Chain A
Amino acid sequence: MEKELEIIFLNSKNTEVEKTGGGFLNIKTGGVKYENVQLVRTFPFSGEDQYISVRTADEEAREIGMIEDLARDFQGNARAYMQEQLEIRYFTPVIKKINSIREEGGSSYFDVETDAGRSRFVIRTNENAFIKLSETRVIIEDLEGNRYEIPDLNKLTARERKKLDIFL
Chain B
Amino acid sequence: MNLLFSLDEKTKQKIGVGEEEIWYCVPYDLSEKHAYVRDGYVVVTRTRLLVTEKDRVVYETLLSQCEDIYSRTLINNGILVIEKKDGTKVRAARFSMKHLVRFSYVGRGAAMLAKGVYHKVESMENEKVCPVCGYALPGISVCPRCSGKKDSGRKIREMCQPYLLRFLLIGVLMLASSGVQIIIPKVQQQFIDTALVDRSGGMADILRFVSVMLLLTAATIVLTVFRSWYSTLLGARMSKDLRGKLFAKLQRLSLSYIQEQKPGELMNRVMNDTVQIRQFMETVFANAVSEFVTMGVAAVIMCTISWKLLLLSIAFVPVVIWGSVVIRGPVMRGFRRARKRKDRLESQLQDVLSGMSIVKSYGKEKEEARNFRRLAQEQTMVEMRNELYFAVRMPVFSFMLGMGVYLATYFGGLNVLEGSLSPGVLMQFVSYTTMLYEPLRRITMIARQFTQTITSMERIYDILDAREEIVNARNAKKIQIQGNIEFKNVTFGYRSYEPVLNHIDLSVRPGEMIGLVGASGSGKTTLINLLMRLYQVDDGVLSIDGVNINDLDVECLHSQIGVVLQETFLFNGTILENIRYACPEASFREVIEAAKAANAHDFICRAPAGYETYVGEKGYMLSGGERQRIAIARAILNKPRLLILDEATSNLDTESEYLVQTALDRLRRGCTTFAIAHRLSTLKNADRLVVIDHHRIAEIGSHEQLLEQKGIYYGLVTAQLEMSRVS
List A residues at the B interface (Cβ < 8 Å): 20-24, 35-36, 44, 59, 84, 87-93, 105-107, 109, 115-122, 124, 127, 142-147, 165-168
Which residue of chain A lies nearest to B91 when distances are taken between CB atoms in the complex?
A: A23
Known A-B contacts A24-B89, A91-B74, A165-B337; A109 and B134 likewise in contact (beta carbons under 8 Å): yes
Instruction: Please determine whether A144 and B75 come into contact, CB atoms closer than 8 angstroms.
Output: no
Please, what's the 1-or-0 string for B327-351, where 1 marks a CB less than 8 Å from any CB in chain A?
Answer: 0000011001100100000000000
Please, what's the 1-or-0 string for B73-90, where 1 marks a CB less than 8 Å from any CB in chain A?
Answer: 011110100100000111
Ordered by A's residue number, 17 sampled pairs between the chains whose C-beta atoms are within 8 Å are: A21-B90, A22-B82, A22-B89, A87-B33, A89-B75, A91-B74, A91-B96, A105-B152, A105-B454, A105-B455, A109-B134, A115-B34, A117-B36, A146-B98, A147-B76, A166-B332, A168-B340
Instruction: Please determine whether B75 and A22 come into contact, CB atoms closer than 8 angstroms.
Output: no
What residues of A have a CB within 8 angstroms of the CB of B694 in the complex?
Answer: 59
* Cβ distance A113 to chain B, nearest Cβ, rounded Å: 11
Instruction: Please determine whether B74 and A166 come into contact, CB atoms closer than 8 angstroms.
Output: no
- New contact pairs (20) apart from A23-B32, A146-B96, CB-CB < 8 Å: A20-B89, A22-B82, A24-B91, A88-B77, A88-B91, A90-B74, A90-B76, A91-B76, A105-B455, A109-B134, A117-B35, A117-B36, A118-B36, A144-B97, A144-B98, A145-B97, A146-B97, A165-B337, A166-B332, A166-B336
Instruction: Please determine whether A22 and B90 come into contact, CB atoms closer than 8 angstroms.
Output: yes
B154 at the interface (CB under 8 A from A): no
Within 8 Å by CB of B129, from A22, A84, A88, A143, lies A143
Sort A-B residue pairs by CB-CB distance and give the 4 closest, nearest first.
Answer: A22-B90, A91-B77, A145-B97, A117-B36
| Residue of A23, A84, A109 ringed by the most chain B CB atoms within 10 A | A23
Report the separation of the CA atoms of residues A23 and B89 in the bound assembly, to the nearest whole angstrom. Answer: 8
Q: Which residues between 45 and 83 of chain B lie within 8 Å of chain A, taking CB atoms? A: 74-77, 79, 82
Instruction: Please determine whether B128 and A143 come into contact, CB atoms closer than 8 angstroms.
Output: yes
Q: Which residues between 306 and 358 of chain B lie within 8 Å of chain A, taking CB atoms? A: 332-333, 336-337, 340
Report the separation of the CA atoms of residues A44 and B97 in the bound assembly, to the nearest whole angstrom. Answer: 19
Instruction: Please determine whether B459 and A106 come into contact, CB atoms closer than 8 angstroms.
Output: yes
* Cβ distance B26 to chain A, nearest Cβ, rounded Å: 15
Q: Which residues between 188 and 238 of chain B lie within 8 Å of chain A, taking CB atoms? A: none
What residues of B have a CB within 8 angstroms of the CB of A90 in the complex?
Answer: 74-76
What residues of A have a CB within 8 angstroms of the CB of B332 in the complex?
Answer: 166
Instruction: Please determine whether A88 and B136 come into contact, CB atoms closer than 8 angstroms.
Output: no
Within 8 Å by CB of B455, from A91, A106, A166, lies A106
Instruction: Please determine whether A91 and B34 come into contact, CB atoms closer than 8 angstroms.
Output: yes
List B residues at the A interface (Cβ < 8 Å): 30, 32-36, 74-77, 79, 82, 88-91, 94, 96-98, 100, 128-129, 134-136, 152, 262, 265, 332-333, 336-337, 340, 454-455, 458-459, 694
What residues of B have a CB within 8 angstroms of the CB of A116 in the complex?
Answer: 30, 34-36
Report the separation of the CA atoms of residues A22 and B90 in the bound assembly, to the nearest whole angstrom. Answer: 4
Which residue of chain B lies nearest to A24 when distances are taken between CB atoms in the complex?
A: B89
Known A-B contacts A44-B75, A92-B76, A106-B459; A122 and B136 likewise in contact (beta carbons under 8 Å): yes
Within 8 Å by CB of A21, from B36, B88, B96, lies B88
* Cβ distance B518 to chain A, nearest Cβ, rounded Å: 14
* Cβ distance B307 to chain A, nearest Cβ, rounded Å: 40
What residues of B have a CB within 8 angstroms of the CB of A145 in the complex?
Answer: 76, 97, 100
What residues of A have a CB within 8 angstroms of the CB of B94 in the complex?
Answer: 88
Which residue of chain B lies nearest to A111 when distances are taken between CB atoms in the complex?
A: B134
* Cβ distance B466 to chain A, nearest Cβ, rounded Å: 15
What residues of B have a CB within 8 angstroms of the CB of A24 in the complex?
Answer: 89, 91
* Cβ distance A54 to chain B, nearest Cβ, rounded Å: 15
What residues of A have a CB within 8 angstroms of the CB of B35 in the complex?
Answer: 116-117
Known A-B contacts A106-B459, A165-B333; A20 and B74 likewise in contact (beta carbons under 8 Å): no
What residues of B have a CB within 8 angstroms of the CB of A105 in the complex?
Answer: 136, 152, 454-455, 458
What residues of A have a CB within 8 angstroms of the CB of B340 in the complex?
Answer: 166-168
Instruction: Please determine whether B75 and A166 come into contact, CB atoms closer than 8 angstroms.
Output: no
Report the separation of the CA atoms of residues A91 and B74 in the bound assembly, to the nearest whole angstrom. Answer: 8
What residues of A have a CB within 8 angstroms of the CB of B129 in the complex?
Answer: 121-122, 143-144
Instruction: Please determine whether A143 and B136 come into contact, CB atoms closer than 8 angstroms.
Output: yes
What residues of A have a CB within 8 angstroms of the CB of B90 in the complex?
Answer: 21-23
Within 8 Å by CB of B30, from A22, A91, A120, A127, lies A91
| Residue of B75, B136, B340 ringed by the most chain A CB atoms within 10 A | B136
What residues of A have a CB within 8 angstroms of the CB of B455 in the complex?
Answer: 105-106
What residues of B have a CB within 8 angstroms of the CB of A118 in the complex?
Answer: 36
Report the separation of the CA atoms of residues A127 and B261 in the bound assembly, to the nearest whole angstrom. Answer: 11
Report the separation of the CA atoms of residues A122 and B98 in the bound assembly, to the nearest whole angstrom. Answer: 11
Report the separation of the CA atoms of residues A39 and B480 in the bound assembly, to the nearest whole angstrom. Answer: 54
Known A-B contacts A23-B90, A146-B96; A88 and B32 likewise in contact (beta carbons under 8 Å): yes
* Cβ distance A73 to chain B, nearest Cβ, rounded Å: 22
What residues of B have a CB within 8 angstroms of the CB of A23 in the complex?
Answer: 32, 90-91
Instruction: Please determine whether B74 and A89 come into contact, CB atoms closer than 8 angstroms.
Output: yes
